[in-house]
Amino acid sequence: MEFWLPIIYMAAMGLALLIYVILDGYDLGVGMLIPLADEREKDVMIASIGPFWDANETWIVLGVGILLIAFPTAHGIVLSHLYLPVTFMLMGLILRGVAFDLRVKAGDHRRRLWNNAFFAGSLIASVSQGWMLGAYITGLSTTVAGLLFPLLIALTLPALYLLLGSGWLIMKTEGDLQARSLDWARAAVLPMGVGLLLVSVATPLVSPAIAGKWFSLPNFLYLAPIPLITAGSYLAILRVLARDLRPGRAEWHLFGLTVLICVTASLGLAYSLFPDVIIGRMTIWEASASVNALLFTLVGVAMTLPMIIGYTVIVYRIFHGKAGELRYD
C-alpha cells in the first residue's frame, strides 16, 4: 500500500485537473469571446454555460484538495512559489462570478461594464493558469528559461480555451451565432497550433529530465502514438473548419477533437512528470502523507470522486440541447 497509495492519489488529482481544463476551459473560452458578440448573442452565450460554469470549477477545488491531503509538503512548496498567479486566478474567477449575475441584475445601463468584467475575469484566470502550468513543468525554476516558458504557456492556454469555447458554442447555438462561432474557431486554431508546437519543442529543452524520458529508445517508439494522435487531431480540426457547418453530428466534431488534444497532451505531461510531484526535486513517495493518513482520506476520495462525476453527467444530461434566451425569473 505504501507504494500504490501515492500513485492512486496522483492519478485522481491528474484526472480532476484534466476534467477541469476541459470543462472550465470551454466556459472560460466563451467568456473571452463575449466582446465579439452583439447584445442578444451575449445573452445566449451566457445561457449556454449558465447551468454548468459554477460546477465546472469544482474540479480544480478537488485537484488542489487532493494535493493538500496526499502531498502536503509539495502543496506548501508549489503554492508558495505560485502565490501571485494563484491569487490572480482566484481574483479572475471571483470577478467572473460577480459579473455573471450583475450583468443583468444591475440594470441595462451597467450591462456593458459587467460584460467587460466577465471577459476580464475569464482572461485573467486563463493567463494565470497558463503561467502556473508552465512554472510547474520547469520545476518551479527561477532561471530565465524558467520565466520565459511560463510566459509561453500563459499565451498558449487561452488560445486552447478559445477553441474549446468556440466548439461549445457551435454545439449549443444556432443560426448567426453558430456561424460566428465557427469563424472564431478559425481565428483561434492557428495560434493554438503554433503555441502547441512551440510548447512541445520547448518542454524538453527546459527540462533535461523530460528530454531523457522522451528521446531514449525504446521509449521514443512506445510514446510515438501520443504526438501522432495530437497532430492527427489538429489536422482533423483544420479539415472540419475548412468545411461549411453541417447540422447534426458534425456540430460536436470540433469540440470532441479539441478534447482529444487535451487528453493526449495530459497523458504526455503525466508521463513526463511521473514519478515526481515536483520535477527534479521531489517524488510522489517523498512528498506523500503517512500511509494511515492516506488510507483514512481514501474513503472520502473514493466517495467524492464518483459523486462529482455522477452529478456532472446528470447536469449535462438534463441541460443538453441548444441554449435558449437568458432568463433570471
Amino acid of residue 258: T
Taking only the tens of pLDDT, the chain with its 329 residues reads 788 999 999 999 999 999 999 999 999 999 999 999 888 889 899 989 988 887 888 898 888 888 888 999 898 888 889 999 999 999 999 999 898 888 877 666 778 888 999 999 999 999 999 999 888 888 888 788 778 889 888 988 999 999 999 999 999 998 889 989 999 999 999 999 988 888 888 888 877 888 888 888 888 888 899 999 999 999 999 999 988 776 666 788 999 999 999 999 999 989 988 888 888 788 999 999 989 889 988 888 888 888 889 988 998 988 888 876 666 55
Q: Residue 225's Cα: distance from chain center in Å? A: 22
Helices (H), strands (E): how many in the chain?
Answer: 15, 2
- Work out the burial of residue 204: count CB atoms within 10 Å of its CB; fewer than 13 is exposed, 13-18 middle, 19 or more buried: middle
Check if the beta carbon of residue 80 is closer than 8 Å to that of residue 37.
no
- Coil vs helix vs strand at 218: coil
Alpha carbon distances (Å) from 266 to 17, 67, 108, 197, 274: 9, 17, 42, 15, 12
Check if the beta carbon of residue 175 is closer than 8 Å to that of residue 160.
no
Residue with cell 495530437: 230
Q: What is the pTM of this model?
A: 0.92
- Residues 244 and 111: their CA atoms lie apart, in Å, by 34
Q: What confidence score (pLDDT) does residue 106 get?
A: 66
Among candidate residues 24, 19, 32, 92, the one with its CA nearest the CA of residue 53: 24
Q: What confidence score (pLDDT) does residue 111 get?
A: 81
Run of H or E residues at 278: strand 276-278
Amino acid of residue 150: P
Cell output for 239: 479539415
Length of the chain: 329
Amino acid of residue 161: Y
Domains of the chain with CATH codes: 4-318 (1.20.1630.10)
- Coil vs helix vs strand at 244: coil
Check if the beta carbon of residue 37 is closer than 8 Å to that of residue 316.
no
Q: What confidence score (pLDDT) does residue 256 get?
A: 94
Q: What confidence score (pLDDT) does residue 247 get?
A: 66
Rg, the chain, Cα only: 20
- Residues 327 and 22: their CA atoms lie apart, in Å, by 26
E-strand stretches of 156-249: none
